[in-house]
Amino acid sequence: MNVKSHKQMAARIMKVGVSRVRVISDKDVEDAITRNDVKTLICRGMIYKVQRKGVAKADANFTRKQKKKGRRSGPGSRKGKLYAKKSSKSVWMDKVRPLRRMLRELRDGGELEKRDYRKMYLMVKGGAFRNKKHLMYYLKDKELLKLSVKAESRAASAEKRSAVRKSKKSGESQ
């Protein structure tokens, strides 16, 4: 009842390891002598190979999707130094570019004078502001913002509307 050599022969034919070869009935396999006999047993299904166990990718796919969304990047997941994930230069650019863009828009909109724009630009360069909200707070606090043309027209139209309402109310009461 020793089919070890037959299993080895079948493993070579099927190009798998011996541990993956299974035999249904030992008697039929013992009668096989040549490679051809073993091949016919494989074709008939008396000898077959076991499916290799793979690694399930579901968890890995889920993790990849989460990382794509920006999850799983907290301090507990990080390895390496402070600027290993993102260089200090790119952090600086991500901080400074929106601030400069905002200053440009304020200057072009007429809300910020050129002299004040230059001063604020240099302050941004010096790292004086954390974010756009901080910059706006500073501008309002120091009263460097002027009403833009659009804002002025909006304010004027609001005043007109309120005057019309008042005149209507006073006309109705008489």
CATH number (domain holding residue 112)? 1.10.1200.60
pLDDT of residue 151: 67
Question: Is residue 146's pLDDT more than 90?
Answer: no
Separation of alpha carbons 21 and 16, rounded Å: 8
Q: pLDDT tens for residues 81-98?
A: 888 888 999 999 999 999
Beta-carbon contacts of 45 under 8 Å, excluding residues fewer than 6 positions away, are: 24
Which residue range(s) make up the domain with 26? 4-49
Looking at the domain assignment, is residue 70 inside a domain?
A: no
Average pLDDT over residues 27-55: 91
- At 110, list the tokens: 């007429």
**The pTM is what?**
0.48
Which of residues 1 and 43 earns the better pLDDT score? 43
Looking at the domain assignment, is residue 32 inside a domain?
A: yes
